[in-house]
Amino acid sequence: MPRPDAIAFDAVETLFSLGKLRPRMEWAGLQGHQLETWFAQMLRDAFALGALDIYKPFREIAEATLEVMMTAQGIKGREDRIEDILSGFTELDAEPDVLPAMQRLSRDSVPIAVLTNGSEKVTRALVDRAGLSDLVSHVISVDEVERWKPAPQVYHHAASRLGVAPERLALVAAHGWDVQGARSAGLITGYVARAGKPRSAIMAPADAEGETLM
């Protein structure tokens, strides 16, 4: 993997686990295993809208997909239940390899950013909660360009914010579609196989791949 001038990490499922939301899903009347289904459906809808040049922020799409899922299962009192699930996004735990990986990069004087499809406010809260504030120089949200990753504009905007050329910026993610988007935009890429999940063969390989960030 070429040495980058800066590194941007995806947030949810790359740096921060969704696990804390599982009991909230169950309290809301859903099944814990539906967490991943809901998140995948949310991404599906965001990508479909993006293909039509329509932008909706993370929370709006998250609410809508939860509403559909709960309505289909006949769950009442959905508004409070949805709010409880979404409020849990500020309490996600960082994966155990995140802090040591960022500390190593910081020692090597590599600027670190978080590039998220979520909001800057919520992502900043996660960074602060995990004790990463002194290590992360930028939290960059797709709200700034009104395009979801993997649109190329997002990655180019991140490079501009960090003051580096796209080909000198690395994107590290646990999603093959994110790696594909970054690679297509000219970035250096890294794929982390969280829970041993392999990258889909239909997506471009990353410049570096592993099961942890270390």
Residue 160 located in a structural domain: yes
Identify the pLDDT of residue 193.
97
Question: Would the pLDDT of 34 be above 90?
Answer: yes
Same domain as 204, residue 111: yes
Same domain as 111, residue 26: no
Q: What confidence tier does 196 reach under pLDDT thresholds 50, 70, 90?
A: confident
Residue 127 located in a structural domain: yes
Q: What angle do CA 1, 132, 191 make, to 5 degrees?
A: 30
Peptide bond connecting 150 to the previous residue in cis, omega within 30 degrees of 0: yes
Question: Would the pLDDT of 15 be above 80?
Answer: yes
CATH of the domain at 204: 3.40.50.1000
Q: How many domains are there within the chain?
A: 2
Which residue, 37, 69, 91, sits at the end of a domain? 91
Identify the pLDDT of residue 161.
98
Same domain as 65, residue 135: no
Question: Would the pLDDT of 1 be above 80?
Answer: no
Kindly report, residue by residue over 114-141, the tens digit of the pLDDT: 999 999 999 999 999 999 999 999 999 9
Buried-exposed string 103-142: b where 16+ CB fall within 10 A, e elsewhere? eebbeeeebbbbbbbbbbebbbbbbeebebeebbebbbbb
Query: Is the whole-model pTM more than 0.75?
Result: yes
Q: Please give the residue range of the domain that contains residue 26.
A: 18-91
115: enclosing H helix or E strand: strand 112-116
Residue 136 located in a structural domain: yes
Between 197 and 111, the more confident residue is 111
Identify the pLDDT of residue 2.
75
Residue 1 located in a structural domain: no
Contacts of 197 (CB under 8 A, 6+ apart): 174
Burial group, residue 16, by CB count within 10 angstroms (0-12, 13-18, 19+): buried
d(CA 78, CA 211): 37
Same domain as 198, residue 116: yes
Residue 85 located in a structural domain: yes
CATH of the domain at 38: 1.10.150.240
Identify the pLDDT of residue 20.
96
Closest CA to 167 of 146, 147, 184: 184
Residue 146 located in a structural domain: yes
Same domain as 156, residue 101: yes
Same domain as 198, residue 137: yes
Q: Give the DSSP letter of residue 212.
A: S
Q: Is 64 helix (H, G, I), strand (E, B) or coil?
A: helix
Contacts of 32 (CB under 8 A, 6+ apart): 22, 23, 25, 26
